[in-house]
Amino acid sequence: MNNELPNEDYVGGLFGSINGGAVRNLGVKGKVAGSTYVGGVAYALYSGSIVNCFAAIEVKGKTYVGGIAGVLSGSNIINCYVTGAVSGSSAVGGVVGAIGINTGNVTNCYVTAAVSGNSATGGIGAGNATSCAALNPSISRASGSNKSHARVKNSGNITNSNNVAWKDMAALGGIAFSVGSANNKDGADVTAAQAKTQKIYEDLGWKFGKDDDNPWKMGVGEYGLPVFFWQTAAPAAMPAHLK
């Protein structure tokens, strides 16, 4: 799937804005490009939820750019993952670029995508991040304040709870990350070896099994990270930085 409209606003990989209901058990692969409001699955999630979905995708935009959704407001992204790359100018996140009037929640998600922008860049991004794993190789930030550049978050108005981040993630752009902890903007350290074990995710509260309520399993083939019970093929190559 390719949806490349670099000069257009409101560009989503499969959906425009989602207003109610739930998108479940979906995988997106390819490229998405736009200007403002750009997301790998949808450009905005204003109500409802995206659950048990993945995006193996390259997402490019300018403002409000996310691997799953550009903007999240009063809604939830649960049990999702993003691999590939996410880039923009400001408000760029591995899962979500920005929050709307009503904040949203990002729960039990992981990202292996490199995230880059001029300001407000984060491995997970906006929204209240809970039990997430920021496994990005790098976060790039060319301008803006230190508060808008972190392993987990990309803005100051979100809650961080029980998150981890790859300990060797590179901070590009001249600003180092702070000392990470499970409940701050940079997350607790996790090694590449730990990221390939089921235990680290079980400790975060993720559910492993064979149904929608217990959606995770460990790996397919040489892809050594969590995937969904319904996946029979790897979503992408194993990220080189986690091998």
Q: Delineate the domains of the chain, giving CATH numbers in brackets.
A: 2-232 (2.160.20.110)
DSSP letter at 232 equals -
Is the pLDDT confidence value at 156 over 80? no
Query: Cα(148)–Cα(29) distance, rounded to whole angstroms?
Result: 28
Q: Which residue has the tokens 């300018």?
A: 62
CB 242 within 8 A of CB 166: yes
Is the pLDDT confidence value at 5 over 70? yes
**Its pTM surpasses 0.75:** yes
Tokens of 41: 């699955």
In 3D space, the residue among 20, 8, 65 whose CA is nearest the CA of residue 45 turns out to be 20
Query: What's the whole-number mean pLDDT along residues 89-97?
Result: 96
In 3D space, the residue among 41, 36, 29 whose CA is nearest the CA of residue 9 turns out to be 36
Above pLDDT 70, what percent of the chain?
99
Query: What's the whole-number mean pLDDT along residues 119-137?
Result: 96
Query: Cα(66)–Cα(111) distance, rounded to whole angstroms?
Result: 11
Query: Cα(24)–Cα(134) distance, rounded to whole angstroms?
Result: 22
Question: Which residues neighbour 159 within 8 Å (Cβ) at sequence distance 6 or greater?
Answer: 128, 129, 130
CB 65 within 8 A of CB 38: yes
Please tell me whether residue 92 adopts helix, strand or coil conformation.
strand
Query: What's the whole-number mean pLDDT along residues 13-22?
Result: 94
* Main-chain phi, psi angles of 173, to 5 degrees: 115, 10
Each residue's pLDDT tens digit, 34-73: 999 999 999 999 999 999 999 999 999 999 999 999 999 9
Question: Which residues neighbour 76 within 8 Å (Cβ) at sequence distance 6 or greater?
Answer: 48, 49, 50, 51, 104, 105, 106, 107
Is the pLDDT confidence value at 1 over 80? no
Q: Which residue has the tokens 């392993």?
A: 151
